[in-house]
Structure 1
Amino acid sequence: MTSMIRMFSLAVTAMLFGLCFAAPASAQATRTWISGVGDDVNPCSRTAPCKTWAGAISKTAAGGEIDCLDPGGFGSVTITKSITLDCAEGIGGAAGGILNSGVPGVTINDPNGGTTPTIKVTLRNLTIDGAGVTQGTYGVRFLSGKSLTLQNVSIMNQGTGSVPAVSFEPSAASVGATLHMTDVDIVNVQNQGVYITPVSGVAVSAFLNRVTITQAAIGFKVEAGGTATLIDSNLSNNGRALWTASGAATANLEGVTIAGSLEAAVFATNGTTIRLSNVGLYNNAFGIKTTGTGIVQSFGNNRLGPDAGSIGLPTATVTQK
């Protein structure tokens, strides 16, 4: 009898010891995968992928990455932690993205957005397509966080409800938030292609390199608090191409081509500044426009051809150093 009791005690002890050191069933992985033939009940491993971004994000650790195993439209997603969505690079990567007819594609909203936002989000090698009976609303909407990076992303058929394709609207606590866009194409947008509109005019920055925006009502718009730098980019065949709209908004253009605008190519409203260097303006209804104390500064190396549109002269010329 004593021997049986001793054996039972040892068995219970071993079981409790094992439970103490067993990995939690809900442990999140640093890298997860999605597939058109996956299932969101899966662990999102490479051999048992999930089916949607939303299904995989809950099983991916903060700071981790979700990769695509095959092409597909993997649904809309709301992001509340640092993460990378990648449909080409990484193990098992392949082309894919988001189909968001009638709804937002990607929404970024830091849980600490009202106090100390910290999340950093990267969207890489994706297509975000709002095609359908009702086009998509926001392609990407940033409400709060530390930074948003888009690399090799195509965004199209967005803007239902008069909203932007890319809306960067950091919360009042997101002072210093940054938007980085490289090799991004935005086409067929009912409203703004990219809209920088920080809450309460807090200081934020946007950096765009090799970005094309076309067939938008407004190509690029910056509100008070926003400072945008566009390099080697193309804003063509839009309604109004570039607009600094209020307060201390600033846009710096280097090596940018603006053509075929139905309204102003560049428009600086009261209190805002646009700086032009190596910028070409061609075949616009109106080239350079300012109102009130709006400023358009030229570095004296721009190309305002005879087909640039009804050109207003830059407010000032800045000496290159």
Structure 2
Amino acid sequence: MHKAVSLSYAFIAIATAGITSCGNTNDKVQIATGQVTQGSTVEANKLYSQARALEAQGSTKKAIKVYGNVTDDYPMSKEAPDARIRQAELLYSQAELMKSFEQYQSFITQYRGTSQYDKAIQRQSDVVHAASTGKIKNSFLGLKSDIPRSKVEKMFIQVRDNAPFGPTAPKAQFGLAEMWQNDKNLGKAIKAYEDLYVRYPKSSLAPEALYRVGNLLLKQTEDGNRNRGNLDTANTTFTDLTLLYPNSKQAKSAKVILKQIKGSDIQRSFSIAEFYEKKKQYPSAAFYYNEVIRATKSGSDLNQRSKQRLAALPK
């Protein structure tokens, strides 16, 4: 299943190292300039003032609606960007997180070059991480509901791709991977962690992503999916981790696990040798006893036992 991933992550890092940070381009981005007809300018200002007054009076629900009308009806007016962000902020303050996410997305899509763009990106990040942990408020009645995982996945991808070179991007990718891991969907979790490393090899989350890939592959072998490819890929992943991030705490843990994998491989070879010996397939038994001898220190328990069994095999 993960054959393709067994290609060293170190190679991937070299291939992606030349990427430099730059923002997304969007030919359809709207920049509000206020260059609308005089009548529209007056009406947009009137609606915006009405929304501000409603907000000040505590009529939050009505204010949200009127702010939306400003941006929907007069998207190029100078009031439009602030109206949309105020609408989103009020929804956020009322814990209407899903609705606020949608309005932040509208703001990000339409008004990328405005001053509150970074705030919208961060708010979206906060919302999707909350959504991934379980139930969140989803209506003015205060009701809470489960958000479908397919919906949360789409939200994570939107947050990641809205600012692919900002700090929220690798966090969104990591959050997506962690969500699948918590749901015990190991295949999707592994793929998402791999994507984080490939996309953001310089992120502080990259060593942890590699470490989790290795551990999840090992978990699959423990859970009954004893695909030799999983074990080999885990070994490659942990090795790459020690080479690429030698000073990370994850690299220290990876070195311990690599020793355990090597030990289990040696024990496995010895067990296979015993199996062939019992079946009287002596050439095959000899091959695996020699494998153990080569992989162990002279004088160690398995080394001595393998030599003794090898010597006792019928010629």
Instruction: Give the TM-score, by structure 1 length.
Output: 0.31
Larger radius of gyration: 2
From the two aligned structures, give the one with the greater strand fraction.
1
- Greater relative contact order, per chain length (Cα 8 Å cut-off, separation 6+): 2
From the two aligned structures, give the one with the greater helix fraction.
2
